[in-house]
Structure formats: structure tokens, C-alpha cells
Chains A and B, each alone.
Chain A
Amino acid sequence: MIEVQGLSKTFTVHKKQPGLLGSLRSLVRREKIEKHALKSVDFRIAEGEIVGLIGANGAGKTTLVKMLAGIIHPTAGDATVLGHRPWERHDGFRQHVALIMGQKAQLWWDLPAADCFLLLKEIYQLDAKRYRETLDYLTEVLDVRDQINVQIRRLSLGERMKMELIAALLHTPRVVYLDEPTIGLDLTAQRAIRDFLLSYRELHRPAMLLTSHYMEDIERLCERIIILREGELIYDGALSDVVKKYAQHKRVIAHLRKTPDSVERRHEVSLIAEYESIDDLEVRLRVPRDRVAEASSALLAHYPVADLSIEEPDIGTIIERIIRRDGGTEPGAEK
């Protein structure tokens, strides 16, 4: 459904010096800077997949989404969505694609949602029966039936986001791009939108590309993720594999029955694992994945262990480390 090959985007931005003098100088001469927002990105997304697009601010997520939605042109590379080049904007493409941007209202601010929906019915040439059925279903599931006659600008953020979702899905698109759909929403609204997206996927099987800074969005909705860092694709695979690939250590925690009595015991264990902390009644070890059993045995042999637990590192923390390039790139770990 979505195929991306070597997609790159470079923006030229003007640098302006601060202050009055800088403003005056920029009237005559402006310095240009090239910003490489996306660097030769390749991937595919199939029907029914929800893929999480993750990266720090400025990593190129929104640029990629905008290109695949046909809003901006690439500098190099190619992409096809439903067999069309998005930026050529054939109606056959636009008829089946939707983009929802949490940070930018797409609906007309001064109109009630009902008027916006009617206009979209005409834009997408939906027949009256299909339009009515889809609208009833979406307003029911998202619980906004009573708000559709209120001007968009008078709605709460959560209600507005739900209206944006309805507007984007009225024509039952086969490809849906979601750029921060839950940003700024309270926990209840976030959960409602996540549940809705899952049920929508079950019903219509669209390809979905989701960007979000909320790990819960990613964990609940996506089996597969793509990680971008400074415009480069550095990971494309199952969410569950991120832990194996990037976190090559586990944490083993032993709760002790009594205070250990010999310093030599520490040495025996340290040959296998690294001590994170040790106190009277608890020992924490950072253990290479392939030596967890060995480290556990050593702990049991040399300490008065009452209870033993093995922890995977938190996936959010791992991804955060990867996208910030501080410790997430253990040797040989990157694609």
C-alpha cells in the first residue's frame, strides 16, 4: 500500500540575525542554510498495519507524513501510495487518503462541525445513505453526537480532535496518517481515541502511519515501529524487537533474607554481571542478556536470596535513549 524508496527532503531556510541591525541587514542580504529533514528513507507498509513513526522533535516525522500525504514534494527518492505518487495529487489518490494533525486544525474554524461534514460529503462525492451511516457510526462511537452543531472554535480540545477524526474518516480512507492525534488531550480522551482507532482498524483494515510522543499510543496501537533520528531511519521492525536489539542487558534484583557477610561473594558475581547497587537487603545487577541464568545462579549460590526478579528495561526509556543517541546505540545494534 505504501512503498518508500530513498525519500529525502532538504529545506532551505534563511538565517536572520537578531536585533534591529540584523533586521536591516536582512533587507539587503540573507544567509541561506540547508536543512536535511529526511535522508534517503526506505520502508513499506501493508494493508491493515498500524506503524508507529517515532523520533525526537525535528527528526523528520511530520515532513515524511506530509510527503506521503502529497502536501510537499521530496528533494530526492520516490514513493507510491495506493499506486500513486502522492505529490502528483491525483484524485484517485486523494479520494482514499486522510491526514489528521493533532497540532493543526483542518476543519473550518468558524463553522459548526455538521456544516464541515456536509461540505466534505460534497468534496468526496459521498452518496447520502453512505454518508449518513458513516456519520452516525462515527459520532456514536466517539460520543459527540450532541456537539456536531456547535462551531468548531467553541469545542473543547478533545471534542475538536474527535471532529477532526470524523472529518478525516467520513470517506473511509484506505490510508490514514495520524500526526500526534492525542497531543494535549486528557487521559480519558486519549484512551477514547486509541480505542476508536483500534476498532476502526478492525473494521476497515486501512494502512495507518502514526506519529506520537506518547509511548502509550505507540504501545497500544502499533506492532511495528519506524525510528527516525535527524532525518535518518535507524530502526524499522517489531516494537517487541526493539528491546532485544537495543537493550542488551537485563536487570536482576535479589531481595536478601539477611545482610551478606563476605566481600568475596561480590567478586564471584562481578565476574558475570555489573553491580548497579548493593545494600543490606537488596542487590541489583546489570546482566548481559545471554548470561541472565548464570548470574541468577551465582546470586543464589553466594547470597542469602529470599526473592529474585528479572526485569526488561522500560521500552519508552530505550526508545528515548535511541532517539537521543545516548546509550541506545550499543555496538552492532543499529540497522
Chain B
Amino acid sequence: MRAKLFADVFIIEAKRTMSYRADFWINVIGGLLSGIAIPYFMWSWIFQAEGGGDDTLLIGGRTFGQMIAYYIACALISKVVRGSDLPLSISSDIYEGGLNRYLLYPTRYLPFKYAQQLGAMVPNLVQMVGFGVIFFFALGLPAGVEITATTVAMTAASLLVANLLYFLLTYPLQLISFWADNVWSLIILLRFVTSLLGGAMLPLEMFPAVWRDVLPYTPFPTLFYLPVQTLLGEVSIVAWGQGLLIGLAWCVGIGLCGALVWRRGELRYTGVGI
């Protein structure tokens, strides 16, 4: 797919998504409530129960302020990584026959959908930048957390890889619609597994040692843990580079798996639908 077409699809999709103002604000409020307010109240309670909310008590190697900064970064970053996965647009294309148009056009389906997914993620990006500035710069950073131009640039690169990897993880699962009518539960399961093993629910330092040894070689830390650590300045350049390489290797592997599922599945496509 040519870069100009990719850019055009991205822009059109961004324009389309940004035109839904009500959805934008509901998304903001819902995201903040679930992603920040719940961990804040929960960790406040835990730190209080453990003997105080000052900067001397460490849980999982973090002070209360660092813990909340981790969850704020995670809440903002995870929306960008996941993009607009929940409308299940690939699955809908198969189920409702919308795939017809993409098979007719002289272009490739996967990059086209990825450009659309990136475009639809723009409101999330606006939220991430806007609320990131409010939380981290206007309200101040906790002690021990430093955000610099370098960490921001490194985070942007991590986000690109994380977003691509998450999209490629959902792709073969959505393609199961060639065989099954509804794949909603699979995507929800993926959300849960990636949130848990990717560090969006708990920082990975809190996992048992065996898990901590194995997880770096799985695709999951690349999704949330690595970008969050990068933003908060908790990772060295070498570890960051290794993390990105592992993520990219998984992109290739999962991409090949997706291509295989597509090749088998599209033979079954009937082009019928609503």
C-alpha cells in the first residue's frame, strides 16, 4: 500500500471519528473513571493500611506517588495502544459483508484497516497528550519520576510498536469470524489477558519471580509496561531497545500467523450480510 493512500485513509478516519463529540467526551470520562479513579482509591487504601501514604513506604518498589503516576500513564497509554479495537471492524466486515469493497479495490486489506485503526485512534491520542500535560506537568510529578524530551520520544516509538502489535494480535482473532459468527468474547478475553500480563492491571514487579523471568520474552510487556516505564524514565536505553526488538519480532510472528489465517479464512467468505 502506498504511503499517500495510507495517509489519506488515516486522515479521513481521524476526521470521521473526531466528528463524534459526544462519544469523545463519554470516552474521556469513562476512561478516567475506570483507569485512574479506581486504582487511586484502591492504592490509597492499601498504602494507608500498610502504614502511611508518604514517600517512605514502598510497595512493589514504588511510593504511593509513583504508583499513581504508573496508573495514570497506563490509563492514558493503553487507550492509544488499543486504539479502536472494540467496534471489531474487521470482524464486522466479514460478518456483514463489508469486506466486499476491500476485495474489489486494488489495495491490500490489512494496511488499509491499520490506517483506519490509526485514524480512529487520534481522539485517544488527543486525550493522552491533553491529560498527560495536565496530570504530569500542571499538577506536578512525584519524587523520583522524571519526564524528559528523550523519554517522550522513546515513549512515542514504544507506542508505535505497541499499537501495531496490539492490532496484529486482534487481527487473527477477528478473522475467526470467517468460521464463527461472533468473536466478541475472544476480543474481551484478549483485552483481559493483555491487561494482566502487559502490566496494565498491576506493575509487573508484583508478579511472582517465575513470571517475571518469562514475561519479557512474551509480546505482553511491549504493549503497556514498556511504554509506561519508558515515559516514567524507569528503563535504560539498552533495556528499551531490547524490549522494542522483542515486540517487533512478535509483530512479524503474529503478522505471519494472521496472513495464514486470512489465507484459509477468505476461501470461506460468502460476501453475504446485512
Report A's interface with B, CB cutoff 8 A: 11, 66, 69-73, 89, 91, 94-95, 97-99, 101, 104, 106, 108, 110-111, 115, 118-120, 122-125
Contacts and interface: CB of A to CB of B under 8 A. Distances in A.
Contacts of B19: 110
Interface stretch (B186-194, B229-237, B263-271): B263-271
B65 interface: no
Given A72-B269, A89-B103, A122-B4, 18 more contacts: A66-B271, A71-B99, A71-B103, A72-B270, A94-B104, A98-B104, A99-B104, A101-B100, A104-B100, A106-B104, A110-B16, A111-B16, A118-B8, A119-B9, A122-B5, A123-B107, A124-B106, A125-B2
Interface in B1-60: 2, 4-5, 8-9, 12, 15-16, 19
Given A99-B100, A104-B100, A110-B16, A123 B105 contact: yes
Interface string B92-113: 0000010111011111000000
A120 B8 CA distance: 10
A91 B108 CA distance: 10
B114 to A, nearest CB: 15
Given A111-B12, A111-B16, A119-B9, A97 B104 contact: yes
B106 A72 contact: no
A123 B106 contact: yes
Contacts of A70: 103-104
The 6 A-B residue pairs with the shortest CB-CB distance, nearest first, are: A94-B106, A91-B106, A122-B5, A71-B271, A106-B101, A66-B271
A11, A66, A94, A123 pick with most chain B CB within 10 angstroms: A123
B162 to A, nearest CB: 27
A89 B104 CA distance: 8
Given A66-B271, A71-B271, A119 B104 contact: no
Contacts of A124: 105-106
